[in-house]
């Protein structure tokens, strides 16, 4: 006993010594960076300083050669390093070594609910950014999915701030561990693309704090993202790039964040206001570089005495600090790794865990090869590649396996594949005009394609339909106006069902769709997202059962647009210029749950080829003292025949509250892998912070003593176990 205690004390001492020396090293490093930065700052002329505060090409700011400061190079985007474009226009340079690993898009990453994969994802981005000699990656994009129509939802992560937080932190760590700065965007309230250059977002304080800011807060305070990109829109009447409340009060003072704030491209509107509000770098303005707000005009403002030189110094100091933190001046800086095998392996792993099995009636999936002689593969998305689309996040993939290729790779000549296009997109995206429908009045080609597909379906054992959207819809700068499928795909599915009932739909896209026309008739549906370089191979592995799906929806799939909260309460998109987030905190499942609206597929939903039994939930104690914690133990067993992963979700319900609260909120999750027959225990920890709401009066998060429920489930609408505890007044 005595010996045991001594051993414990010794271990504790060692930990303390280690942590202190670790802290000392960090403190020493930051002191030495400070000294180096001040030394450079002292030598810079005003002109040189100003040259570092605005773009000198589409994606760089100036260096200062005589002092050995290189140009600072930025690159889009959130799921792969963008191809090189010309310095002074948006045309691709046309190189043959600017390919990238096409990682599954942000929404797909979130559908994995796997923080470890988020770290690996970030590492790939960081490695490839370094190999392409970039200093800053313009991602992740983490704006909340407020409506199912936003053209950039596919780049973003989720409707839920907790899920975003848990994934964005490792993502950023992954990027920054490769000596590349992450640029978290778009700060803040950029939740629609419609009128993004003009719209003003009005959000009440509680909603801002509970829904729209926590992801950013985690990115800046937990992951310590080194740079931020402001949003195009206005927030409470002020452009985000000159928003004193967002940039100075919240980001810098409250969150004590000292990274570099970069404007979105062409998103700066003033010199003095923006400079004082905390913007550091102006990018992308469509003027001569000297005419940027942060170029000659900024110098003039200093010379006239309208702007303090210290404001300029602070900006340059921050830039130089981030340069040092990412080892810009250091020969030990990561050299990166260009489109390597292990990078593609990560793209594959993420895709495997991202695909969501939405429906699987009569366990039609996985397909049993012994019973199949022929397979109809139908849909434009069976052969369409998506990497390059979507706007600034588009990338030139080294390769992208299409769904048809994936099935061909997998099946060889074991099964006869009958391919038919079935529908053809009739849209084109144009930056000046937006999405344009190019279909003429003559729709006969559609009928012909449909008839051909129905013929192919009739003569095949099973039909796999790769349909949904493409990047004419999931596209920066333009929102959808409705949730229904384009190109008359509903008609196509219905006609095919008349010829063959064994239909499996794989939805490609980043948004929820209105599936009511056929959802009850189709036995199996998968959400396949834009799943990256290995998409086709992964879909084939999942359809054939070599990979057991484990993705969970990171957003609610409403039945119809009218069911979504922003539509119900407010105006999407309204007049486009003034948008009041009238639904408040009731975003996504918070609304569907609390208002008893049944979605098509709920937040957190995703099936598996195996079954899981949640047998027990136990608490370490039933009363939580304010400054303490309670442990929650959940026992779960794989009761099916195959191995699989499950995401155990923990939701909190505040039983009695002085303010309106959502029925339940996600406050914990854990993805675990279980072999057939295996049982595991998972532990969560509850503390006061996850019980709290934002109290507008005290301007703080606060938890009210009383009863709370813990719901443990496989989805927000599939709660398997519930227990209760009390938050006590005592400390
Ligand atoms: C987008 C940003 C992007 C930037 C540079 C803007 O239009 O909103 O997300 O990083 O362009 O391409």
pLDDT of residue 706: 97
pLDDT higher than 80, residue 93: yes
Q: Is residue 492 within a helix (H) or strand (E), and if so which, with residue range? A: helix 489-499
**Best residue for ligand 1 mutational test, from 392, 429, 475 (most atoms within 8 Å of Cβ):** 392
Residue 135 Cα to ligand 1 middle (Å):
16
pLDDT band at 438 (very low <50, low <70, confident <90, very high): confident
pLDDT of residue 433: 87
Residue 431 Cα to ligand 1 middle (Å):
13
pLDDT of residue 1: 47
- As a whole number, mean pLDDT of residues 501-513 equals 97
Report pLDDT digits (tens) over 580-604: 999 999 999 999 999 999 999 999 9
DSSP-based three-state secondary structure for 504: strand
Of 12-21, 59-68, 519-528, which gets the smallest average pLDDT?
Answer: 12-21
Residue 562 within any structural domain of the chain: no
Q: Which atom of ligand 1 is nearest to the CA of 190?
A: 8
Residue nearest to atom 4 of ligand 1 (CA): 265
Active-site residues: which are they? 264
Of 80-89, 435-444, 496-505, which gets the smallest average pLDDT?
Answer: 435-444
Residue 124 Cα to ligand 1 middle (Å):
20
Q: What CATH number does residue 649 fall under? A: 2.60.40.10
pLDDT higher than 70, residue 18: no
Do 73 and 222 lie in one domain? The reply is yes
Residue 641 within any structural domain of the chain: yes
Distance CA 244, CA 279 (A): 9
Do 168 and 66 lie in one domain? The reply is yes
Is ligand 1 within 6 A of the CB of residue 265? Answer: yes
DSSP-based three-state secondary structure for 645: strand
Do 304 and 361 lie in one domain? The reply is no
- As a whole number, mean pLDDT of residues 647-654 equals 98
Q: Is residue 234 within a helix (H) or strand (E), and if so which, with residue range? A: strand 234-235
pLDDT band at 19 (very low <50, low <70, confident <90, very high): low
pLDDT higher than 50, residue 41: yes
**Best residue for ligand 1 mutational test, from 59, 136, 138, 478 (most atoms within 8 Å of Cβ):** 138
**Best residue for ligand 1 mutational test, from 74, 139, 192, 265 (most atoms within 8 Å of Cβ):** 265
Do 505 and 416 lie in one domain? The reply is yes
Do 26 and 52 lie in one domain? The reply is no
Do 183 and 54 lie in one domain? The reply is yes
DSSP-derived letter for residue 250 is I
- As a whole number, mean pLDDT of residues 164-191 equals 98
- pTM of the full predicted structure? 0.96
Residue 363 Cα to ligand 1 middle (Å):
43
Residue nearest to atom 9 of ligand 1 (CA): 392
The conformational region for residue 701 under phi > 0 = left, psi -120 to 50 = alpha, else beta, is beta
Q: 183 CB contacts (<8 Å, ≥6 apart)?
A: 74, 136, 137, 138, 139, 225, 227, 228, 229, 262
Is ligand 1 within 6 A of the CB of residue 392? Answer: yes
Domain membership of residue 355 as a residue range = 351-553
Residue nearest to atom 8 of ligand 1 (CA): 264
Domains in the chain, number: 4
Do 636 and 677 lie in one domain? The reply is yes
Do 297 and 386 lie in one domain? The reply is no
pLDDT higher than 70, residue 20: no
Residue 703 within any structural domain of the chain: yes
Q: Which atom of ligand 1 is nearest to the CA of 392?
A: 12
Residue nearest to atom 3 of ligand 1 (CA): 392
DSSP-based three-state secondary structure for 240: helix
Residue 570 within any structural domain of the chain: no
pLDDT of residue 5: 66
Q: What CATH number does residue 480 fall under? A: 3.40.50.1700
pLDDT higher than 90, residue 329: yes
Is ligand 1 within 6 A of the CB of residue 593? Answer: no
Residue 582 Cα to ligand 1 middle (Å):
28
pLDDT higher than 90, residue 364: yes
């Amino acid at each position: 006993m005595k010996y045991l205690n001594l051993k414990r004390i010794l271990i504790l001492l060692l930990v303390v010594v280690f942590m202190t020396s670790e802290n000392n090293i960090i403190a020493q490093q930051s002191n030495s960076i400070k000294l180096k930065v001040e030394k450079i700052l002292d030598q810079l002329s005003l002109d040189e300083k100003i040259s570092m505060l605005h773009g000198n090409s589409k994606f760089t700011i100036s260096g200062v050669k005589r002092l050995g400061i290189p140009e600072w190079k930025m690159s889009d985007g959130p799921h792969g390093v963008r191809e090189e474009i010309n310095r002074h226009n948006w045309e691709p340079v046309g190189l043959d070594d600017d390919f990238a690993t096409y990682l599954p898009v942000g929404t797909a990453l979130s559908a994995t609910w796997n923080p470890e994969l988020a770290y690996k994802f970030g590492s790939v981005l960081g490695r490839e950014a370094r190999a392409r000699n970039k200093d800053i990656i313009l991602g992740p994009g983490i704006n909340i999915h407020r409506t199912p129509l936003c053209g950039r939802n596919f780049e973003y992560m989720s409707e839920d701030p907790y899920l975003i937080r848990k994934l964005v932190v490792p993502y950023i760590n992954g990027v920054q561990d490769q000596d590349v700065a992450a640029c978290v965007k778009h700060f803040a309230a950029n939740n629609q693309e419609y009128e993004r250059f003009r719209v003003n977002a009005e959000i009440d304080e509680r909603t801002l704090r509970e829904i729209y800011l926590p992801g950013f807060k985690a990115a800046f305070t937990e992951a310590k993202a080194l740079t931020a990109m402001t949003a195009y829109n206005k927030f409470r009447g002020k452009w985000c790039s000159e928003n004193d409340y967002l940039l100075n009060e919240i980001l810098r003072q409250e969150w004590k964040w000292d990274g570099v704030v970069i404007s979105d491209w062409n998103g700066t509107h003033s010199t003095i206001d923006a400079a004082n509000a905390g913007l550091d770098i102006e990018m992308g303005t469509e003027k001569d570089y000297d005419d940027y707000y942060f170029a000659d005009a900024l110098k003039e403002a200093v010379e006239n005495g309208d702007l303090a030189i210290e404001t300029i110094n602070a900006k340059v100091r921050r830039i130089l600090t981030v340069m040092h933190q990412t080892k810009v001046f250091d020969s030990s800086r990561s050299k990166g790794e260009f489109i390597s095998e292990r990078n593609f392996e990560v793209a594959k792993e993420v895709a495997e865990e991202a695909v969501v099995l939405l429906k699987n009636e009569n366990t039609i999936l996985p397909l049993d090869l012994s019973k199949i002689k022929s397979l109809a593969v139908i849909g434009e998305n069976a052969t369409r590649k998506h990497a390059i689309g979507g706007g600034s996040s588009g990338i030139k993939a080294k390769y992208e396996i299409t769904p048809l290729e994936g099935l061909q790779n997998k099946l060889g000549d074991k099964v006869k594949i009958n391919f038919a296009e079935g529908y053809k997109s009739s849209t084109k995206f144009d930056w000046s005009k937006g999405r344009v429908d190019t279909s003429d009045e003559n729709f006969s080609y559609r009928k012909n394609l449909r008839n051909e597909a129905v013929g192919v379906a009739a003569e095949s054992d099973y039909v796999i339909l790769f349909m949904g959207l493409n990047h004419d819809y999931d596209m920066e700068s333009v929102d959808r106006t409705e949730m229904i499928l384009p190109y008359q795909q509903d008609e196509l599915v219905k006609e095919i069902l008349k010829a063959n009932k064994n239909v499996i739909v794989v939805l490609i896209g980043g948004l929820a769709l209105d599936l009511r026309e056929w959802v009850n008739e189709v036995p199996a549906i998968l959400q396949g997202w834009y799943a990256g370089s290995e998409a086709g191979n992964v879909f084939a592995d999942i359809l054939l059962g070599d990979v057991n799906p484990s993705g969970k929806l990171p957003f609610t799939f409403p039945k119809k647009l009218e069911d979504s909260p922003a539509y119900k309460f407010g105006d999407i998109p309204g007049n486009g210029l003034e948008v009041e987030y009238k639904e408040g905190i009731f975003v996504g499942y918070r609304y569907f749950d609390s208002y008893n609206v049944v979605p098509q597929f709920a937040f957190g939903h995703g099936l598996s080829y195996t079954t899981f039994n949640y047998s027990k939930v136990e608490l370490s104690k039933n009363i939580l003292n304010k400054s303490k914690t309670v442990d929650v133990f959940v026992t779960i067993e794989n009761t099916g025949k195959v191995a699989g992963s499950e995401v155990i979700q923990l939701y909190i319900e505040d039983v009695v509250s002085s303010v309106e609260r959502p029925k339940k909120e996600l406050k914990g999750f854990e993805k675990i892998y279980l072999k057939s027959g295996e049982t595991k225990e998972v532990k969560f920890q509850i503390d006061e912070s996850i019980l709290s709401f934002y109290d507008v009066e005290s301007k703080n998060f606060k938890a009210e003593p009383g009863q709370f429920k813990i719901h443990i489930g496989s989805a927000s609408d599939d709660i398997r176990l519930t227990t209760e505890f009390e938050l006590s007044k005592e400390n």
